[in-house]
Structure 1
Amino acid sequence: MAEVFGHSPDDFSERAQRFRRNKLCPFNNKVPSCTKDKAKDPLGVCSIHTKDGPVITCPIRFREDWRIADDAAAFFFSDEASWTSLTEVRLPDRDGKSAGNIDLVLVAYDQAGKVYDFGSLEIQAVYISGNVRDPFARYMSDCRNHADMDWSREPNYPRPDFLSSSRKRLAPQLLFKGSILHNWKKKMAVAIDRQFFNTLPNLQSSDRNEAEVAWLIYDLVFDQDASRYVLRQTEIVYTLFSDALTRITLPNVGCIDDFMRRLQEKVDEKLESPPTNAVIDTPLG
Structure 2
Amino acid sequence: MARRPTGRNRSQDQAKYGIAEWYGRLYRNMGASERASYLNPISIPQCPFLAAVPDLAPNGSTRCSKKGGVCSIRNFTQTDDQDVRFGKITSTCPNRFLEDRTVIDHVGRLMLQSPDPIVVKEIPFLRRITSGIVEGESAALPVDQNDEQVDSEDVGKIDLVFVHPDKDPPEWCAVEMQAVYFSGASMSRDYEAIKSYTGNGTPMPGGGRRPDFRSSGPKRLMPQLQIKVPSLRRWGKKMVVIIDRPFLDAMAPMDTVGHVSNCDIVWVVVDYDEQREHGAAQLVVDQILYTTLEDSVVGLTAGVPTTLPEFEAKLTLKVTSRRSRVPKTP
TM bucket normalised to smaller: 0.7 to 0.9
Q: Structure 1: where are the runs of 5+ without partners?
A: 37-41, 279-285
Aligned equivalents of 2:303 and 2:158: distance in 1? 26
C-alpha contact 2:175 2:241 (8 A) present in aligned 1: yes
Residue of structure 1 equivalent to 2:213: 162
Report the Cα distance in structure 2 between the residues aligned to 1:274 and 1:138, rounded to whole angstroms. 41
Q: 1:21 to 1:237 in 2, by over 3 A?
A: farther
Secondary structure of the corresponding residue to residue 98 of structure 1: coil
What is the CA-CA distance between 1:272 and the residue it aligns to? 7.2
Deviations for 1:195-235, whole angstroms, at most 9, x for unmatched residues? 11111111111112322211111111114544211111111
Displacement of 1:136 in angstroms is 4.9
Structure-2 residue corresponding to 1:8: 26
Do structure 1's residue 22 and structure 2's residue 43 form an aligned pair? yes
Structure 1, 101-110 or 187-196: larger mean CA deviation: 101-110
Counterpart among 175, 191, 205 of residue 137 in structure 1? 191
Secondary structure at the counterpart of residue 53 of structure 1: coil
Superposition CA RMSD, Å: 3.4
- Partners of 1:205 and 1:238 within 8 A in 2: yes
- How far, CA to CA, are the matches of 1:71 and 1:228 in structure 2? 21
CA displacement at 1:249 relative to structure 2: 4.4
Aligned equivalents of 1:54 and 1:242: distance in 2?
Answer: 29
Change (3 A) 1:76 1:268: same
Residues 246 and 195 of structure 1, relative CA distance in 2, 3 Å threshold: closer
CA distance in 1, matches of 2:219, 2:190: 25
Farther off after superposition, 126-135 or 85-94: 85-94
SS in 2 for 1:104: strand
- Deviation, structure 1 residue 270: 6.2
1:92 is aligned to: 126
1:248 aligns with 2:273: no
Which AA in structure 2 matches 1:234? D
What code does the residue aligned with 1:221 have? D
SS at match of 2:96: helix
Aligned counterparts of 2:160 and 2:327: Cα–Cα separation in 1: 59
Q: C-alpha distance in 2, partners of 1:267/1:144?
A: 49
Aligned with 2:271 (options 219, 222, 235): 219
Rounded Cα–Cα distance in structure 1 between residues aligned with 2:33 and 2:166 = 44
Verify the 8 A CA contact 1:85 1:107 in the aligned structure 2: yes
Listed one character per residue, the Cα deviations across residues 181-201 of structure 1 (whole Å, up to 9, x for unaligned) are 233231011110101111111
Name the amino acid aligned to 2:72. Answer: S
Which of 206-215 and 116-125 deviates more? 206-215
- Shift, 1:49, TM fit: 1.7
Query: What residue in structure 1 maps to residue 251 of structure 2?
Result: 200
Residue in 1 that maps onto 2:98:
63
Q: CA deviation at 1:243?
A: 2.3
TM-score w.r.t. the length of structure 2 is 0.69
In the alignment, is residue 33 of structure 1 matched against residue 58 of structure 2?
no
Q: Distance in 1 between matches of 2:273 and 2:116?
A: 31
Structure 1 length normalisation: TM-score? 0.78
> By how many angstroms is 1:125 displaced?
0.6
Aligned residue pairs, count: 267
Question: Structure 1 CA distance, aligned partners of 2:170 and 2:283?
Answer: 31
Identity %: 27
Aligned CA distance change for structure 1 residues 146 and 118 (closer, same or farther; 3 Å): farther
Cα drift, residue 14 of structure 1: 11
2:252–2:298 contact (8 Å) kept in structure 1: no
Gaps of 5+ in 2: 1-18, 52-56, 76-85, 129-133, 136-152
